[in-house]
Every structure is written in C-alpha cells, then in structure tokens.
Structure 1
Amino acid sequence: MTSEILSTHQMKLAEQAACTGKTTSFTLMQRAGKAVAEEIISRYSKQPVLVLCGMGNNGGDGFIVAAALKKKNWDVTLACAVDTHDLQGDASRAAETWRDDIITFEDLEIPEEGLIVDAVFGTGLSRPVEGQIYETLISLRETDCPIIAIDVPSGMNADTGECQDCTPQAEITITFARKKPGHLLLPGRQASGEIIVADIGIADDILPPIGPFMMENSSELPWGEADFDKPIYAHKYHHGHVVVLGGRGMTGASSLAASAALRMGAGLVTVVAPANTAIIHQLQNPSLLVEPIGELARFKEHIKDPRRNAVLIGCGAGLDNIGALKKIVFDSVQATPQKICVLDADALSVFEGDTKILMSVLGAHCILTPHEGEFARLFPDIKGSKPERAFAAAKRSGAVIVLKGADTIIASPDSRLVINSNGSGWLATAGTGDVLAGMIAGLAARGLLDPFEAACAAVWMHARASELAGAGMISSDLAGHIPAVWKELIDPQEEPETAE
C-alpha cells in the first residue's frame, strides 16, 4: 500500500515530472489504457464490452483500452461523445489506435449484459455535465452491467468526492500512481466501488518535491512503527493517567469514553463526576477510578497531580452550567505542567458564538473531535471541502482536529492531514464518538506518539474494532474488540477475520 494521496494538481505535476527522455504524456496514456485492459482481462471472463469515451485524456485512455481488448479478441463496442476529428492532443492520437466503427452517444443503446468502461470524464472535469452526455451517464445508473471507471466515475470531483447526479456507480475504479482525495471522501468513495491503483511508471522519487501530501490512514503511517506492547518491567504510571469529566445526566457517554481509554493501554483512568452520579460510574466498570466532585469549578484540583497527564472533557458533560464547563476547559488547557487535552461534544458546543477566546488558549497539546454539527458551531466561517475545512481549523486553533464522519479527517497545525477509510456503517449509533474520544485520550496519555499520530492511530483502531464487531454492533461493544485490534498491530501473525 502507498499511503500518499495526490490532488489533481499534484498528479499533473507528477505526470510532468515523469515525462523525461523517451517517456511522453502519450506514453503514460498508453500505460494507463493497457493497465485497465489487463485488469479487466484478469478479473472478468471474456464477454462483450462497451467503452464510452469522452473528449479529453480520459477518453484517450478509453481508446487504448478498447484497442487492447480488441487485440485479445474481446467483443468491443466503442462510443464517443464527440466526432473523433474534434479530439486533440494525446486523445486524438489514442483514437487512431482504434480501427473499427465508432458509435455516437445519440445512437447508443446501453446493453443489458456485458461490461461497460466509463472513460467519459476524468479528474479534469470542472463543470456541470449537460446534454447528451448527461443523458448517457444517467442511463448508466439504471444498468445492471458492471461498470469499470477509469480514474474516477464520470461526474465525480477527484479532489472533494462530490458527485453530480449523473455519476454512475462503478464496480471498480482504476486510478493511476496514487489514490486521489475523492476516492476516500464521500460520496465519491461509494461511487468508486473497489479502487485499484495501477502503476504507469511514475517513480516514488518523483513525489517528494510536489508534496506535502494528504495520506490515507493505516498502520503503514509513522504511528504504525511504535512499540505498543507493554514491557514487563513497566508499572501503571509509566502508561499515563487519564482524567475524564463525568456528567450529571448522560453518564453513559463518559463511562464509554473512560472504559475505552483503559483498553487503549492507559495505566489509570479516573472519572471525576458530580457526587450524585459517581456511584453510576463506579458500577459501570470496576477498573475505573471515580472521584466525586461537589463544585465543577473545582475540577482543576483533580488534575494538579503531574502524573495525571491527559484530560478528556465533553462526553455527556451537559450544557446546564456553561460557565463551569468553560472554566474546566480553560483550567485543563492551561494546566501546568501541560497535559494532553481532548475536547469533545459539549466541551466544543459550549463555545458557540464565543470561539475567539477558546482559540487563544488552544495549542498543539489539544485534540478537538467535532462532528460536522459541532464543527459548524466552532468554525462557522470556514468553508470548502472536508480536508480544506479541517486543515483551516487546525491552522486557526493550533490544535489537532479530528473531523468525524464516515470519512474522518485528522489534521495537524503543522500541515499533516490524514483521511481515514476503514470502518463499518454500524458506527452510526449513539456513543461511538464517546468511545473514540476515550481511545484518543488513552493512547495519547501513553506518550508513545505525538497528539496527531495518537489521534490517527485511535481513529483507525476505532474503525477496525467496528469491522471486527460486525452487524448489530452498539457503542458498548467497541471497547471489547480493542484487544483483538491490538493483537493485529502487536502480533500480526494471526489476524482475526472481519465479522460478516
């Protein structure tokens, strides 16, 4: 796996850099088309193939694919969106490799069987699809034929994952050199189907000068190199002490978070909760320490011990005492010695309309974990794609931003940005965000990784635990699957299977 994600601009730069000596842009087009044809031949039995070509380089790839399959005696039909005399550059040259009939889109009937290669629009599309091309793509949405998309399904924005309403659903998408952001961001990730990265001769040493890159989250990133196991000589205080603020009402949220922090290896986890709910937390998990608090404003007394090196605030905290909750956040963020501070849910929403003062005290030791609604409350003026918004928020706040969702983004103020792509749809249930916040705090407290890397690792592990839990999972199931994820990372010889 190669973790770099190339924007459309970076991909253009990579292609330009690869064009040296005898390698030209047409050479790359030939390699791309042949790679698609080889994937089709290796994956599918011989059957009729309809290749739909557009007017740009993506269409040029399609002509190469059609010619390569025809050479292998496949039954190939080719349709082009424009007259081939109107093609230019490499696309025109590629069209010359096809020596058979060409159907217009107007005369085209979408078949009921066989394969369809979508080579209409690629990564360069920047306008709404209209006219006959739109009608043709709409008809693809109604076919049962497997669709093989070249680079991206037509109508998908390769940088944002946004899809026009005519974007067809691909069975597989074959892209080149590296994935593009839209392959991992919704709804593009879903429209792309299975994503295959084909080698077209863009060497790894070409890439560094055109970075920095977004990265796809996995244990191949630097966080995966950490020694997560606990040495035999260590004791609990070697692994950090997380303090979790417990709420008055939604006690389940802080209990879920605290238990998850323990499962991530934190040596101790203490829940500081109002006296009338402390017993509830004690009964939830006997492995947790629980300290009752009379006045929330006195929370800082519970974190003054320097061994208490991580604080998690917001899970079920409630907004019934806004002043006290803000004070807890300020006291935690500004504590001496400095502590890892994970701010989630209510600890973020409490600053709606009053974000400037929060931004003034945050720093690189802070990790903010908003979902889209909470993000909009904290950063109402930040617009753009999901990566752009997360990056801008990290720069403004000076903190690590974990912008949650099915395509969670982790962004650091030092320009690192990671897109998470694993996980189960069953994470869409109450409490899973609390578990994630606890996992981040628990891992960060161990001091094995910097806050950004700890957040990346925890997000991936959280998603992987959901895959292992399988259908029917609820939030309280997640922590129980963390040991299996640890086993995969620490002792990967025998990996457990994902639940079906």
Structure 2
Amino acid sequence: MTVSEIRGHHPILTPKAMGEVDRAAIQSGIDGYRLMLIAGAAISACVLEHYPEATGAIVLCGPGNNGGDGYVAARGLAEAGMPVRLYSSVDPERLKGDAATARDDWQGPIHSLADLDWRDSEIVIDALFGAGLDRPVEGAVAEAMMTVVSSELPVVAADLPSGVSGRTGEVQGVALSAEHTVTFATYKPGHFLVPGADYCGDVHLIDIGIPQREIDAHDQNLWLNTPEIWSDRIPEPKLSGHKYSKGHLGVFSGAFSHTGAARLAAHSALRAGAGLVTVLAPASAIASNAAHLTAIMLRNVSSDEDLDALLQDQRMNGFVLGPGFGVGEKTCGFARTIISTDRALVLDADGLTSFKDNAEDLFSAIADGAAPVILTPHAGEFSRLFPDLAADTELSKVDRARMAADRSGAVVLYKGADTVIAAPDGRAVINVNAPPWLATAGSGDCLAGIIGALLVQHVPAFEAAAIAAYMHGEAGMELGEGLTADDLADGILSPSVLFE
C-alpha cells in the first residue's frame, strides 16, 4: 500500500471498536444515514477520480451497512453518468436500517450475485463485507469473488477488501485485491498487517463526520507510527553539549569471522547521533575489527571479568548485544549482567535465540532490573521466545507483540514488513514506511544500532524503538531498491536532521 503521504496522529481501531464508535455517534444524535451518504459519496468520488476512462461500474453489495455504502456509491456513479450494474449477495428485502434506506434510494435494478458478469474496461466496487468479517468466505459469494479475481478488473474496496480480516489482516479463505481502499473515521489493523496490507492498494482515510471525542473515547492505544507520536522525544543537539552528553554505546562483536554485523550496528549508531560508539570484541576479533574502524572505538571484552571492568565506566550507558555474537550461555550471561545494571540494552539476533530454552530467566532478569530493554525479534526469533503466542492463530500480530511486551517487561519491536512496536503498558504502533528492499542481510543490525543510539541519548524505550523503525524506513526509501546494509548504515540521518 502507499503510505508516503500519511501524516498526523492516527489511532487504529479494531472493527469491533469502530462499531462501538459508530453506535455511540448515532446515539449522540448523529444521523446514521447521513454518515452512510458521505461514505458512499467518497467511494464514488474515488472511482471517478482514478478511473475516468472506465466504461461502467460493477457494484457488489453485501448484507450490512457496508452494502449500504455500495448502494449509495452506485447511485452517485449513475448520477454522474457512469453505467452501473449492482449485484447483491443477499435478498435485498433482508436489508434493515440505513442499508434498507440506501437500497430504497437506488433506482436501478438489483441483480443476484449468482448472475455476476463483467466486461473489459469496467471497474468493480467491493462493498460485500468490509472490515468486520472474521470468518472464512464460502459458497456462492466466494465463487463470485473468484470470478472478480480472474477478471483482473480493478477493484475499489469499501472500508477493507472483502475476505481480509480487519482485526488481524489474515485472508479468510479468499479475498479481493483492491487498487484503492476507501475507509472511514479511523484505520483498522487489517490495512497495515500482512498479508492484508498487500490487498488494500492505496488506502484513503475519509472523515465522514464522526466526532473525534467518540474516537478518543474508544482509543485502544494503537497508532500508526508517524512523527506526531514521538516528535517531542527527538534528541536535539545543544550548543553546550559534548560527545559524552550524546551517549556512549557499546556494541558487542562476535568472533574473528563474525564481526560485520556488529560494525553495521556500530556505524548506524554513530550516524544516528550517539556521541561515542565502541565495538566490544573478543581477543580473536580485535585485529579484524581494527582493520575496518576509524571513528568507532574498539575494546577487548572477552570474559565476564572484562565486562565487569567495562561496567565500571558509567559513561557507557547503553549496549547492543546479539548481532553476530553467537548463541550460548556466554550471551545469556552478558545480557543478565547488563540488565542488572542501570544500562539500556538492545537484545537482538543471537541475543534473543540464546534464551530460546530459558526465556523466563530473561524475563525475570528484566523484571528485577531497572534499565530499559528492547527486544527486536523477527518472526522466527519471536517463535523461539514466545512459542505459544506465535502458534495462536486467533491472535493478530499486534496482539502477539502486546502480550510479549507484557510478559517480558521489555519493549518488543516485532520486525517485518508490518513491524509492530509494543510497550509493557499496552501502547503499540504499526510501522508502515519500510520499503520491501529493506529485506536484505544486515538491515536488522543497522536497526539495532539506531535504537541503541537513541537509548543512550536518553530517549524512552518505546519512543526509541518507534523512532528507530521510522528512521530505518526513511533511509531505505531514500536509498532505493538494490540497497545493501552498507549503504543503509551510510544513509542514516540523525533524527534532528531528518525531522527538522
């Protein structure tokens, strides 16, 4: 989906919560049919704007208010001079309330969905189910949807493409793939969570007149990750500042042949504004790291004793542990030692996998410690730390991230095309500015370094993870397709420059 133009503070509501908002708005005295008229007009306007050459519109209407939106859109297109054929998935006489009013205001014939046909150069309006569907599509409706899929006609969806769960983004058996989705009042998780995000095309958020107070009253602490969420937390350079006031980050390196990941993280951290960055390497990796480092410092940390000595320097106030470091008890021990201090920790890659058989030990250490901890799992690493959450198909990715944050006591940055960042207090954001070409080796190491840089600059953990994910995506967008992690580390801008 295209999100490059999305700006502002955008709460995301589940379909259930959005239904409560609708009911509350109507109970407050707002005319429900007026809301439907605005929604349907927005759908027809989208069609006329983006498909002026279409020879006609096929409007597919379902049994609820989503279908009512379709009737209103059909009337608007017909009044604009576009030929319209309207198909209903149910007996039109079964419609109730505002949907029935919309049906009565439609002056054209209503065909059965079983009689669906199509012609080249037509446009399809999908008003079958919208965001509320949370069960598999079956029978004649599924067959009609497959007919639309095989036609390859462009689709404009009302609220959400039919067959995509608005709560989880999962496809319910079969789904229509839209070029444009017109949604109302707030975004829903299914617009951004994969695979649903791939079915939405360009998402247009329309204000249909629901008061903001009703949306705020049903806020679910879930937002789109945009600068408006955390702009007041962006670290600003001060004239009186010096390198230590901008934080000192330590990045642990793996052995001789596993040093590149740490250097990517370290370089990214320096670019992201950390005042000093030191690669902490075992004796075997000192020479290989020294050959590649200039502005980044280097120190031998091979043993528990070396780490204890390092921690005597209070100026080193944050660490990245995991990229290329190796899986094992040494990693676990280093993590527990750091967590027991007041130093911030980004636990990534091997740092996460090392706890796959004793995750509760990690969570207990976090609970007993005072320092902020950020866990950055991709799907595989998440399933190692939280196997029960990963296996529960009823949960959305947002649900999983929130439950993982609550269980672990850490901020969880659950990576992917639909990265979700969740805090133990229930706050969560979905990050959507990352281009697909960020899926390249070393990209996650760069992200870990950015997070570490923000933590040592005293950005709170949740905001540090959210800002870093956004910075990571912006760098990827700026560099373009074909980037490597080396390019990415060089292309990161400090947040004070990026968001000036």
Task: Please say whether Structure 1 and Structure 2 have the same fold, judged by a TM-score greater than 0.5.
Answer: yes
Task: Normalising by structure 1, report the TM-score.
Answer: 0.93
Over residues 42-93 of structure 1, what are the superposed CA-to-partner deviations in whole Å (9 max), with x where a residue is unaligned?
Answer: 3331531111111121111100110111122221111111221222332222
Task: Report whether the alignment pairs 1:445 with 2:451.
Answer: no
Q: How many residues are treated as equivalent by the alignment?
A: 484
- CA shift for structure 1 position 25: 2.4
Distance 1:155 1:261 in 2: 42
Q: Report the secondary structure of 2:413's partner residue.
A: strand
Q: Is the contact made by 1:461 and 1:482 (CA closer than 8 Å) also made in structure 2?
A: yes
Distance 1:346 1:423 in 2: 23
Q: Which residue of 2 aligns with 1:386?
A: 397
Picking from 448, 451, 454, the partner of 2:464 is 454
Change (3 A) 1:22 1:380: closer
Task: Report whether the alignment pairs 1:348 with 2:352.
Answer: yes
Distance 1:83 1:134 in 2: 17
Picking from 327, 341, 358, the partner of 2:333 is 327
Distance 1:293 1:28 in 2: 64
- CA shift for structure 1 position 21: 5.7
Distance 2:497 2:314 in 1: 31
- CA shift for structure 1 position 27: 2.4
Distance 1:484 1:328 in 2: 29
Q: Is the contact made by 2:349 and 2:376 (CA closer than 8 Å) also made in structure 1?
A: yes
Q: Which residue of 1 aligns with 2:232?
A: 225
Amino acid at match of 1:146: P
- CA shift for structure 1 position 411: 0.4
- CA shift for structure 1 position 20: 4.5
Q: Is the contact made by 1:300 and 1:332 (CA closer than 8 Å) also made in structure 2?
A: no
Distance 2:11 2:128 in 1: 26
Q: Which residue of 2 aligns with 1:495?
A: none
| Runs (5+) with no aligned partner, structure 2 | 1-7
Distance 1:297 1:278 in 2: 17
Task: Report whether the alignment pairs 1:151 with 2:159.
Answer: yes
- CA shift for structure 1 position 284: 2.1
Q: Is the contact made by 1:297 and 1:328 (CA closer than 8 Å) also made in structure 2?
A: no
Amino acid at match of 2:18: M
Task: Normalising by structure 2, report the TM-score.
Answer: 0.93
Amino acid at match of 2:365: V
- CA shift for structure 1 position 227: 4.8
Q: Which residue of 2 aligns with 1:496?
A: none
- CA shift for structure 1 position 310: 0.4
Would you identify which runs of 4 or more consecutive aligned residues in structure 1 move more than 6 Å?
none
Task: Report whether the alignment pairs 1:237 with 2:237.
Answer: no
Q: Report the secondary structure of 1:473's partner residue.
A: coil
Q: Which residue of 1 aligns with 2:116?
A: 108
Picking from 12, 18, 29, the partner of 1:11 is 18
Q: Report the secondary structure of 1:157's partner residue.
A: coil
Task: Report whether the alignment pairs 1:373 with 2:383.
Answer: no
Q: Which residue of 2 aligns with 1:409?
A: 420
Percent identity over the alignment is 39
- CA shift for structure 1 position 154: 0.4
Over residues 346-380 of structure 1, what are the superposed CA-to-partner deviations in whole Å (9 max), with x where a residue is unaligned?
Answer: 11111112111111011561111111111111111
Q: Is the contact made by 2:163 and 2:175 (CA closer than 8 Å) also made in structure 1?
A: yes
Counterparts of 1:231-380 in structure 2, within 5 Å, are: 231-248=238-255, 249-296=257-304, 298-319=306-327, 322-335=328-341, 338-363=342-367, 365-380=372-387
Picking from 200, 204, 228, the partner of 1:196 is 204
Over residues 326-363 of structure 1, what are the superposed CA-to-partner deviations in whole Å (9 max), with x where a residue is unaligned?
Answer: 1111110001xx01111011111111121111110115
| Runs (5+) with no aligned partner, structure 1 | 491-500
Q: Which residue of 1 aligns with 2:474?
A: 464
Change (3 A) 1:244 1:388: same
Measured on the aligned residues, the alpha-carbon RMSD in Å equals 1.6
Picking from 429, 433, 438, the partner of 1:418 is 429
Q: Is the contact made by 1:297 and 1:324 (CA closer than 8 Å) also made in structure 2?
A: no
- CA shift for structure 1 position 431: 0.8
